[in-house]
Amino acid sequence: MKKGDKAKAIGLADRVRAEGVHEVSGNSGPASSINAVVQCAVDSFVEKALSAFEGRLDGLATLQETASSAHHDLPTRAPTARPKPAHPPQELLVTISMAKADRKSPNRQRSPAELKAQIESSLGKMSTPALRDSKVHSVRKLANGNILVQANSDEQAKLLLLHGHEWVSHFEPNACVHRKSYTLVADYVPTSFDPSAAGAKTAVYHDNQGTIPSPAVIRDIRWLRPQKDASVKKAASSLIIVLDDEAAAEGLMHRSLSLVGTSCPVSLYTPPPLQCYKCQGFGHMAKACSRKDPADIKCARCAGSHATRDCECPNTPRCSNARTCTHIQVQCANCGGPHKSFANSCPVKARAIRMGTSHIHSPLNLSYASRAGSGARA
C-alpha cells in the first residue's frame, strides 16, 4: 500500500462517520443500524490497512539496515535492526470501535496499561462466569482511536465477541465490538417470500438447517432491489443475506439456499463500484469528477455528449419516454459495447469491480475479488 493510502483510508472512514450511509433499501430496517454495520466494516478495513502500512514500514527499516551494512560493510556499526514484533493470531484479537464514543472520553487519553485495567474491571462486572474476573493478554491503541484487545485464548476471544455488548457497555458507553459479517446474494428467490416479515429469519433457518446453525447468525435479509411498484412485481428476485457465521456463509455458497421449495444459487455479494453519472467513469462520484469539459459529459444510454436525462429519441414523431424508446442506439460510454454504461455485462465495469474500487463500502470480510461477477441478477 502506498503512503498516501493511509491518509486516504482514514479520510474515508471519517467521511463515512460524518455523513453516514444513506439507506438503500426500504426493507432493511433503520438506517442507523446499517450505519453501525458499515461503520464497523470501515473501521475494520482501516485497521487492516494501518497494520499493513505499519508492517511495510517495519519491512522498509529492516531493508535499509541490510542494504547499508552490505554496502559499507562496517564491522564497528552496532546492529540496529529492530526485532520484528510477532503478530498475534487474528482469532485472538477483538477490536473495540470507539467511533461513537464521546470525543472527551477519558478512555481516549489512557495508556494501554490503564486501558487493560479498565477492561478487566469491566469484565469483573460480567454475569458470564467464564469471563468474570478474567484477564486479557494485552491492549493496543490504534491510530484511528479504536482499541485492540488481545485475548489469552481462542475460547476467551470467542466469549469476548459473543458478550461484547455487555462488557463494552461497562467499559465505554456507545463503543461496540467489531463482529465479522458475510454478505451474500441469493438469485432467483421467489418474491412470495417476504424478508421483512417477522418470521423471515426463522423461515430461512428452518429451510436450511444443515447449513445455518441458528436464526441468530442471520444478521439481515432484504431484497437487493426493493420493488417500488407492486403491480410490476417479478416472480423472482435477488435476496441479500448477511450472516455472522463464516462456515454458514461458505455452506450456503456451496449448497445454495433452499427457500419456498426452491433452490437459489448463492454467491458473495459484490457491491456495485462507484460510478460517475456525468462521465460514466468508475471510482468516483459526479461531485468529485475531474472532467470539466462539457464534451466529457457522457450519456449512460447512448454515450452521446449530453446528460442521460437529456437523451432524446431521434425518430419523428419523437418518443416521449427515452427509457422505453427503441430508436436510440444503446452504446456504452466506457467500452463502446451495445449496453448501457452501468450494465453488469460491461467488461469495464467488471474490471472496476475486480480492482475493488468499492470494497471499502462493503461490510464484508471474505475476499470476493476472485468470485466477482456472478452473472445476471434477476
SS3 content of the chain, % helix, strand, coil (to 5): 35, 15, 50
Residue 313 touches Zn ion, criterion: CB under 5 A: yes
Query: Minimum Å distance from CB 323 to Zn ion?
Result: 10
Residue 251 touches Zn ion, criterion: CB under 5 A: no
Contact with Zn ion (CB under 5 A) among 145, 271, 304, 373: 304
Helices first, then strands: H and E counts in the chain: 8, 10
Query: Minimum Å distance from CB 315 to Zn ion?
Result: 4
Q: 61 or 325: whose CB is closer to Zn ion?
A: 325
Residue 335 touches Zn ion, criterion: CB under 5 A: yes
Residue 299 touches Zn ion, criterion: CB under 5 A: yes
Query: Minimum Å distance from CB 353 to Zn ion?
Result: 13
Distance CA 185, CA 362 (A): 13
Phi-psi bin for 260: left (phi > 0), alpha (psi -120 to 50), beta? left
Contact with Zn ion (CB under 5 A) among 24, 311, 330, 355: 311
Residue 325 touches Zn ion, criterion: CB under 5 A: yes
Residue 40 touches Zn ion, criterion: CB under 5 A: no
Q: 97 or 331: whose CB is closer to Zn ion?
A: 331
How many chain residues are in contact with Zn ion, going by CB under 5 A? Answer: 20
Residue 330 touches Zn ion, criterion: CB under 5 A: no
Cell of 289: 469528477
Residue 274 touches Zn ion, criterion: CB under 5 A: no
259 in Cβ contact with 274 (< 8 Å): no
Residue 184 touches Zn ion, criterion: CB under 5 A: no
Contact with Zn ion (CB under 5 A) among 97, 156, 331, 334: 334
* Half-sphere CA count of 278, side-chain side, radius 13 A: 15
Query: Minimum Å distance from CB 345 to Zn ion?
Result: 8
Check residue 275 and report its DSSP letter: B
Residue 273 touches Zn ion, criterion: CB under 5 A: no
Q: DSSP characters for 97-158? A: E-TTS-TT-GGGT--HHHHHHHHHHHHTT-S-TTTTT---SEEEE-TTS-EEEE-SSHHHHH
55 in Cβ contact with 6 (< 8 Å): no
Residue 329 touches Zn ion, criterion: CB under 5 A: no
Residue 300 touches Zn ion, criterion: CB under 5 A: no
**Those residues with Cβ within 8 angstroms of residue 70's Cβ, 6 or more apart along the chain or in another chain:** none
348 in Cβ contact with 332 (< 8 Å): yes
Residue 297 touches Zn ion, criterion: CB under 5 A: no
End-to-end C-alpha distance for the chain, whole angstroms: 37
Longest dimension (CA), the chain: 90
Distance CA 374, CA 353 (A): 11
Residue 301 touches Zn ion, criterion: CB under 5 A: yes
Residue 156 touches Zn ion, criterion: CB under 5 A: no
Residue 289 touches Zn ion, criterion: CB under 5 A: yes
Contact with Zn ion (CB under 5 A) among 332, 353, 364, 366: 332
Q: 233 or 327: whose CB is closer to Zn ion?
A: 327
The one segment of 141-149, 247-255, 263-271, 310-318 that binds Zn ion by CB under 5 A:
310-318
Q: Binders of Zn ion among 185-214, rule CB under 5 A? A: none
Q: Which residues bind Zn ion (CB under 5 A)?
A: 276, 278-279, 281, 289, 299, 301-302, 304, 311, 313, 315, 319, 325, 327, 332, 334-335, 337, 346
